[in-house]
């Protein structure tokens, strides 16, 4: 994360903390209250939950309208949370860890996707291996899982980082820079990656290639703590409805892809490839120790360990202070809503 961006949203976050105040256990009356609307932050990308946007399943489950707030980077999501402008977001693990470490009042409530091939390094034809990116200019969306994967690949494969010119660009800027010839490659997702491939690029590395080295890179559902405390039934309904959409996608991937492509106005081939490049742990699977865990088992569960590893990585990159990293993130993981959604 750019340090200036980090400073801006952190200052906003600290101001937001005073607004939120101390945590309050919701009363029975609160549990039945409904907000005027629920604000969901999304990147406009092909994801299973777009099915609920297309048929308004979330609106029906909540009993109130949903407002979809679009963002372009993880840093922007954190700023939106700090400004109390969103309630629930789906975004990458590394920016979420950064926000939680800097005491933004948010928590992880689910893992909708584990990234496999949906994020990748696309380069010019003259580059045939990771080693070849030394001496080249490589772009990435800042404060994203793609940036984390790129940095991890450089570390795991022992590349000389000083010889690689790394440039932080939004997906739209990546495509424009590629067409101008300003960059030699980019670690990103579709439709940006697909556009690079369509304009003379090819893929040489996928995020799934890091799994054998112990890297769990995923997207998470994150909620404002104040919202979750006041509207627990909304958060539970959100996770339950999302699981229904995952089931719908897995039952008929092609029909789901067609609906999503139409809703977000993106090429069907790109949508198919993105959706198939993710794995979708079920509500029940997410409660296992491999993911969020449940109750006391949250400490040391897969996501807790991954969050600690991610924070250490960000500290090594100068994006977090090492002395701010806790030994566990279990207090910022709330699997109780998954338990309720599973029971229903």
Query: Which pLDDT score, from 0 to 100, does residue 20 have?
Result: 36
Q: 4-46, pLDDT tens digit by residue?
A: 544 554 544 444 443 333 343 443 434 468 999 999 999 999 9
From residue 142, alpha-carbon distances to 8, 38, 75, 114, 339 in Å are 15, 27, 8, 19, 33
256 Cβ contact list (under 8 Å, min separation 6): 48, 51, 248, 249, 275
User: E strands along the chain, which residues?
Assistant: 38-42, 66-70, 88-92, 106-115, 119-124, 137-140, 165-168, 185-189, 201-206, 218-224, 278-279
How far is it, in rounded angstroms, from Cα 125 to Cα 286?
40
What's the number of CA atoms in the CB half-sphere (13 Å) around residue 282? Answer: 9
Say what the pLDDT of residue 32 is: 62
- Token readout for 70 is 């679009």
Q: In this structure, what DSSP letter does residue 219 have?
A: E
Inter-axis angle of helices 93-101 and 302-316, to 10 degrees?
80
- The model carries a pTM of 0.82
Residue 15 has what pLDDT?
A: 44
CB-based burial label for 20 (10 Å; 0-12, 13-18, 19+): middle
pLDDT at 143: 78
Positions in the chain short of pLDDT 70 = 1-32
Residues facing residue 122 across a β-bridge:
186, 203
Can you tell me the distance from the alpha carbon of 20 to that of 186, in angstroms, rounded to the nearest whole number? 39
Q: What is the pLDDT of residues 295-338, one digit of tens each?
A: 888 999 999 999 999 999 889 888 899 999 999 999 999 999 99
- List phi, psi (to 5°) of 53: -75, -35
User: Which positions ≥6 away from 318 have C-beta within 8 Å?
Assistant: 3
Question: Rounded CA gap, 250 and 181, in Å?
Answer: 39
Angle CA(304)–CA(308)–CA(313) in degrees, nearest 5? Answer: 145
Burial 271-280 (b: 16+ CB within 10 A, else e): bbbbbebbeb
Quickly list DSSP for 47-106: -TTHHHHHHTHHHHHHTS-EEEEE-SSHHHHHHHHHTT--SEEEEEHHHHHHHHHTT-SE
The per-residue pLDDT for 296 is: 85
Closest CA to 228 of 110, 128, 88, 130: 88
Q: How many helices (H) and strands (E) does the chain have?
A: 16, 11
């Amino acid at each position: 994360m750019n340090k200036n961006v980090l400073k801006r949203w952190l200052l906003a976050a600290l101001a937001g903390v005073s607004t939120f105040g101390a945590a309050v256990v919701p009363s029975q009356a609160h549990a039945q209250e409904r907000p005027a609307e629920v604000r969901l932050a999304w990147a406009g990308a092909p994801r299973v939950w777009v099915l609920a946007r297309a048929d308004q399943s979330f609106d029906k489950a909540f009993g109130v309208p949903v407002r979809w707030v679009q963002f372009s980077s993880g840093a922007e999501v954190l700023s939106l949370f700090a400004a109390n402008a969103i309630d629930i977001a789906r975004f990458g693990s590394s920016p979420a860890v950064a926000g939680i470490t800097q005491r933004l009042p948010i928590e992880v409530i689910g893992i909708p996707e584990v990234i496999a091939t949906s994020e990748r390094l696309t380069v010019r034809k003259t580059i045939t291996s990771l080693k070849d990116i030394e001496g080249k200019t490589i772009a990435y969306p800042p404060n994203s899982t793609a940036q984390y994967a790129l940095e991890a690949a450089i570390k795991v494969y022992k590349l000389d980082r000083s010889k690689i010119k790394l440039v932080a660009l939004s997906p739209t800027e990546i495509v424009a820079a590629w067409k101008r010839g300003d960059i030699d490659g980019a670690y990103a997702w579709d439709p940006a990656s697909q556009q690079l491939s369509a304009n003379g690029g090819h893929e040489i590395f996928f995020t799934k290639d890091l799994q054998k080295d112990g890297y769990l890179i995923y997207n998470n559902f994150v909620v404002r703590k104040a919202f979750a405390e006041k509207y627990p039934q909304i958060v539970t309904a959100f996770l339950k409805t999302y699981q229904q959409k995952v089931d719908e996608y897995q039952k008929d991937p092609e029909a789901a892809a067609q609906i999503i492509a139409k809703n977000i106005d993106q090429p069907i081939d790109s949508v198919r490839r993105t959706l198939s490049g993710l794995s979708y742990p079920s509500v029940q699977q997410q409660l296992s120790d491999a993911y969020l865990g449940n109750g006391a088992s949250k400490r040391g569960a897969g996501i807790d360990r991954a969050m600690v590893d991610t924070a250490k990585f960000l500290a090594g990159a100068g994006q977090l202070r090492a002395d701010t990293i806790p030994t566990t993130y279990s207090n910022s993981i709330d699997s109780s809503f998954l338990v309720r959604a599973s029971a229903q």
